[in-house]
Structure 1
Amino acid sequence: MDELPPVIDRPAGRMLARGREATIHEFGHGLVLRRYDDGRDVTAEVTLMRHVARHGMPVPKVHGVQLDAGGRPVAMVLDRIEGPTLVEAGVAGAVSAADVGRTLAELHARLHRVPLDGLPVSPEPPARQSGHVVVHLDLHPANVLVAPEGPVLIDWSIARTGPAALDTAMTAMTLAAAVVAGIPSDAGDVSQLEIDRSFLAATLDSYLTALSEPPTPALDRAASILDLVGAQPPQVVRAALGVVRDALARAGL
């Protein structure tokens, strides 16, 4: 396994953003500090981010880590990416729903081409199998920053290796759940945005059409995962599954 980047032990500044489980803080010129509310170890996340970056994925550069009292790396020092999230750009009218959907599909296509050679095998299940690729599992418009040089994919907290169809199914189900019930109130800053559900529906349609293969084989598994993590109530997840299947049928997929 790669060695972790250096320890950078200095105080963080004001909070810039909040997600469901993490906060982003100022950390000097051009840098931010990302840390999780539960103080989790970020070793696997840092390792995976550096691996995909070496293979051309647009992710924030990891400059260093911070340790807790027990010596565990629990925060990451990252490039500060200037620009709105993809969903903010969509709400502002800077990009269309069709463009948002295509951007998500393009990022998935790039990610799934990243070779696994050199990426350590995770000791946690599920075991890596033939045909697995790097999967983000939380790729949605609030986790894409629109930088001057192009989209940058953030929040790699649950990324791992797995089936490509599961990755795209998770995105489709996340979009569909937002179509059904809006953004969950505990989702962080994105929950404060006024997002037209018709925009999200059009984004889902565009995303599914732009994929090279439909996520159909993994939809039920994605729904089970959303039920397990409790991001949306079970009835919303069931309705979202119907929304995705209806969208696939409209697209002839």
Structure 2
Amino acid sequence: MTALLASGRDADVYALDELRVLRRYRRGGDVTAEAAMMRYVSDHGYPVPRVYSAEGADLVMERLDGPTMLQALSDGTLDLHSGATVLADLLERLHKVRVRSATDPGTRILHLDLHPENVVMTEGGPVVIDWRNSTEGPPELDVAMTALMIATVAVLPGHPFAEQAEPFLDTLLRCTRDNPLSQLEAAAHRCTADPNVTAEERAHLAEAKLLVTTAARLHH
């Protein structure tokens, strides 16, 4: 490992060389399922980093060149409408990927953490990272999770993206086909149980749910 590139809520990313990074989860775990999901959606044309190896808590992946969507929105190189439209498209494209084993036709592949910090804006297009929470289920849950995370930013006092988050959410829900309201309570339960969610975020969860409900009723 030559350099620490980034630290997230539960993992650190190190540069291995010009082409590869190591994502290491600080609390350990097994990245096998995450790597398998990334390889699967990649085989179906979905934009994810190439996976080189996966063992224990370590995932070696393609090194991406470009800002996160949040960075691009913050520095003005990406406008809010375009960013929200891209995120909505990424959700819809993921939910069109054929599910591996489910027999329920309403089951889709879900990312469950798809927000502007987990999209890298490369020259070749947006690439989705951080598949730790990915699973299969109703697509409305994925939209609800994304909407709730963005709404939480909108209601957090002092968050640097708070003012932009509400119009971003409004555009996102206008562009999504799936109505998140049927899965909003389930999404809130997931956020409450997530050890990476802060106490401050939990304290504003009810306010965030109300914001999602109001925006979703306008567009669905």
Name the TM-score class by shorter chain.
over 0.9
Q: Which of 14, 37, 58 is the aligned partner of 2:47?
A: 58
The CA RMSD over aligned residues, in Å, is 1.7
What residue number does 2:130 align with? 155
Listed as ranges, the gaps of 5+ residues in structure 2 are none
Determine helix, strand or coil for the equivalent of 1:90.
helix
TM-score normalized by the length of structure 1? 0.81
Alignment partner of 1:198: what SS? Answer: helix
**Superposed structure 1 runs of 4+ greater than 6 Å apart:** none
Higher RCO structure (Cα 8 Å, ≥6 apart): 1
* 1:46-125 to 2 correspondences below 5 Å: 46-65=35-54, 67=55, 73-117=56-100
User: Any idea what SS the aligned residue of 1:58 has?
Assistant: coil
Tell me: CA distance 1:116–1:83, structure 2 relative to 1, closer, same or farther (3 Å): same
Displacement of 1:16 after TM fit? 0.2
1:219 to 184, 190, 205: 184
Q: How many pairs align?
A: 217
User: What residue is the counterpart of 1:5 in the other structure?
Assistant: none
In structure 2, the residue matched to 1:7 is none
SS for the counterpart of 1:173 is helix
TM-score by length of 2: 0.93
Task: Tell me how far 1:130 sits from its aligned partner.
Answer: 4.3
Q: Which has the larger radius of gyration?
A: 1
Q: Give the conservation status (yes or no) of the 8 Å contact 2:174–2:219.
A: no
Question: Which stretch has the larger CA shift, 41-50 or 194-203?
Answer: 194-203
Q: Is the counterpart of residue 171 in structure 1 residue 146 in structure 2?
A: yes
What does the per-residue CA deviation read over 1:165-187, in whole Å, with 9 as the maximum and x for residues that have no partner?
Answer: 0000000000001111169xxxx
Shift of 1:235: 3.2
Q: Does 1:248 align with 2:216?
A: yes
CA distance in structure 2 between the partners assigned to 1:102 and 1:241 by the alignment: 21
